Structure formats: structure tokens, C-alpha cells
Chain A
């Protein structure tokens, strides 16, 4: 019986959502993503999915959905960083692809 109670409690804990994001956290995540994307655009390295994720984050923030806003902003941040990383790598590696 005790064992079953522990098991049920464990399942209940696992099924709980992660700690909900606050408005401040969502706004901070969006600001970080926007800053990273500004850098990517300046490097002419930006990706369209980053823009889409940023738009989704802004919409969710406006709707007061902090969890969704933070998740989309985090995704945008990761994409923006990857796009800048790609551009930096290509500054030299493109030469390996030149047909001679």
C-alpha cells in the first residue's frame, strides 16, 4: 500500500508542469532573443525561422501567455546564435567548396 502511494505520488509529480514562467522572465527571454537576432541581421546571417519564433513570442507575450512566450523566445535565441555561428564558420570554410 505504501509502495503504491509512493508510486502514485511520483507519477503525480512527474505529470506536473514545469515551474511556470513569470512575465519578467518571458520579457527578459524575448529581449535576449531580439538582441541576438539584431546581431544576426547585422551580419546578414539571419534565418526566417528565427523571425517566426520571435513573432510567436511577441504574440504570446501580448496575450499574457508567459510560458509560451518564454519557450518561443528561447527557441529564437538558440536559432539566432546558430545563424551567427554559421556565418562565422563560413567566413573561412567557403573556400573549401570552391570549384577549381
Chain B
């Protein structure tokens, strides 16, 4: 009787283990990590609504928020939206459109990027998908950090406003590996200054670093692409990440480098549930 009980218990345990979520190489479960990551920010900023985290420094600093509200009377990304809509509607030489490359004709899908693509075994960003669309239709790829690319990303982000980040990690060890590599980048100290993404955007979020208010990592990509006053132009997520690299005195990687794509995958996954607010503006 006792042996049968133990055997049954063993079978139940084996079944439960088999049903357990997949673990990445680091022995972690992404969803548990996301919960802990978000709980940290909700505890750190108890007065900030979950929906507001996409607004970065404006969500956590009252003075900056007032300035931003005034700036938003004439949003500096409006010209980019005009250019983006014109480009989006313009047919390629083969008569097809950007809309033909995307689910739901590209409407309201920005929150699902970056995506893990099984065919390539790699992460694809929104800008990567736009360029793939162009190349598959016989057009040259766009410069991925600014210009027309940022304008197109602005159009796609605008159609997703209010939709929460919904990044998935498919049941594929390569997807989990990409997530882990992105996490490794986020927490690794880089550059001559020896700082990581986390060094600025976790515990010190909301604090001043010289003239800037450090944005919380939670939702930091929900406002992309952005018009940044410091640039005097629009920039995509990867332009901002590349600028961060320079600010740490690290030599930026290529814009479409796998490390950057994995980082964006990890950061976006951590922000699942935070609504898209892009295009945005930053100092």
C-alpha cells in the first residue's frame, strides 16, 4: 500500500515537472523574472500608474512632466508622422505596400515587437521587420536609426497606442537563449565608465544624473520612437540604445547587431502589460 502511494506520488511529481514552464540556460523562468522586475518599480514608484511608465522621466518627475505637457501642445514628432504616413501609403516599385508584409495590415501590432523568428532562430525588431519587408519587395533597406525608418516606426507605434506590450517567448530553446543573452547585456557593465543598463535604469531611476532624470527601465521602450531634443531629430529604439553605449564610453555595436536585438527583446518582455505610448518625446 505504502509502495503504491510512493509510486503514485512519484508519478504526480514527474507530471508536474514535465508541465513546468521551460527554463533558460540560467535556470530562470522569464515570467517570474518579469513579475519581480515590475514589482520592484511598482514599489519604488507607488504613485505612478502602471499605464504611465511608458512616459519615462515624465512619469516620475513632476517638474519634467509639466514641461512635457507644454511641449505636447505641439508634439515635435508630428512632422515625422506626416512623413511616415506618406511613406506608408506609397506603393513599392512592384505595386505592393508595407501593409502587405504585416499581420492586420500593420495596424495595432507594434506591441508584439521584437519577435523571435523561428525560421532564422533570431530576434527581429520592428525596424528589422520593416527593412525585411522592403528587401523582399525589391527595395533597398533603410538606415535603421533615424529618418524615414523612425517615421515609419512612429506610424506603427501610433496605431498601437494604449495596447500593452505583448512580447512572447516561444517554446524554443533558441528563443530562451535570446532572452538570456538580452538579460546578460542589460546587467553587464560596459564601457570605460563600467556601467550597465541596470546601473542607471533600475535602482537610480528617477534620480538625476547631471542634467538628466534617469528613466525607469520598465516601459522605457513603450514610447519609442522618440523625438529627442538632444538629437534635434527622431530616433528609433536602437538609436537610443546606441547612444547609451556611447554615453558609457563603449564603442556602439552595429545597429542591427544581434546583441542589441536580444537586449530589446528582454527589455520589451520585462515591460509586458505596459501600454505603448509612442511616438514620444524626450529631452
Contact = CB atoms under 8 A, between A and B. Distances in A.
Contacts of B132: none
A18 interface: no
A41 interface: yes
Q: Most B CB atoms within 10 A — which of A48, A83, A95, A100?
A: A48
Given A41-B251, A99-B202, A47 B191 contact: yes
B259 A98 contact: no
Given A41-B251, A47-B249, A99-B202, A94 B190 contact: no
**For the complex of A and B, 9 pairs with smallest distance between CB atoms:** A46-B251, A94-B188, A90-B188, A94-B187, A97-B187, A47-B192, A48-B249, A49-B192, A98-B187
Given A48-B249, A51-B251, A86 B36 contact: no
Nearest to A40: B251
A32 interface: no
B189 interface: yes
A32 to B, nearest CB: 19
Interface in A42-70: 44-51
Contacts, number: 53
B196 A94 contact: yes
Contacts of A86: 189-190, 194
Interface string A68-100: 000000000001001100100010011101111
A93 B189 CA distance: 9
Contacts of A82: 192
A40 B121 CA distance: 26
Contact of A98 (B183, B251, B253, B257): B183
A100 B33 CA distance: 7
A65 to B, nearest CB: 25
B36 A100 contact: yes
B259 A44 contact: yes
Interface of A: 41, 44-51, 79, 82-83, 86, 90, 93-95, 97-100
B87 interface: no
Interface in B224-283: 246, 249-251, 253, 257, 259
B26 interface: yes
A94 B36 contact: no
Nearest to A82: B192
Nearest to B217: A99
26 contacts: A41-B251, A44-B257, A44-B259, A46-B250, A47-B191, A47-B192, A48-B249, A48-B250, A48-B251, A49-B192, A49-B249, A79-B192, A86-B190, A90-B189, A94-B184, A94-B187, A94-B188, A94-B196, A97-B198, A98-B187, A99-B36, A99-B37, A99-B40, A99-B198, A99-B202, A100-B36
Contacts of A48: 191-192, 246, 249-251
Contacts of B250: 45-48
Contacts of B196: 94, 97
A38 to B, nearest CB: 12
Interface in B172-208: 183-184, 187-192, 194, 196, 198, 202
A79 B249 CA distance: 12
A27 B156 CA distance: 52
Contacts of A41: 251
Nearest to B36: A100
B132 to A, nearest CB: 23
